């Protein structure tokens, strides 16, 4: 990123703001909204508006990589984790240590971070 909210490599803009934040009830929570002009980061059907991504509502973007299936877990308007399907497993790209698995009973995808912690906000509604 530059001093301005533009990524030099591809010109993607990142504007971010916290709409709501609280440390009440013993846990920090809130709503972090970002806008981006980067293709693939936002959903065409986003109820949050064109180019808007909510950090607390990550989503999956499946895509073909040659002849194999790949998945992006979009975290913000400029941040995503990429996984490639290898057999029945998802392999993190760029030597990532995160894991992506699918609960075949519910159809949901589960993202586990590098500390081995399930990210609970990632479990619900992560079906493609």
Q: For 1-41, how does the pLDDT look when each residue is reduced to its tens digit (9 = 90+)?
A: 456 788 888 888 888 888 888 888 887 788 888 888 888 77
What pLDDT is attached to residue 3?
A: 65
Residues in the chain: 128
Q: What digits encode the pLDDT tens for the residues 82-125?
A: 999 998 899 999 888 899 988 788 777 888 888 776 665 454 44
What pLDDT is attached to residue 121?
A: 47
Running DSSP on this structure, what letter comes out for residue 42?
A: S
CB 30 within 8 A of CB 23: no
CA 54/CA 59 separation, integer angstroms: 9
CB 81 within 8 A of CB 94: no
CB 74 within 8 A of CB 87: no
């Amino acid at each position: 990123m530059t001093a301005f909210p533009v990524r030099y490599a591809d010109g993607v803009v990142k504007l971010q703001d916290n709409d709501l934040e609280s440390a009440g009830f013993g846990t920090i929570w809130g709503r972090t909204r970002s806008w981006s002009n980067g293709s693939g980061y936002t959903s065409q059907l986003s109820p949050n508006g064109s180019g808007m991504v909510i950090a607390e509502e990550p989503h999956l973007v499946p895509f073909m990589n040659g002849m194999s299936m790949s998945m992006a877990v979009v975290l913000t308007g400029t941040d995503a984790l990429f996984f490639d399907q290898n057999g029945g497993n998802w392999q993190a790209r760029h030597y990532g240590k995160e894991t992506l698995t699918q609960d075949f009973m519910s159809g949901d995808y589960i993202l586990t971070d590098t500390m081995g912690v399930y990210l609970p906000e990632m479990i619900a509604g992560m079906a493609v």
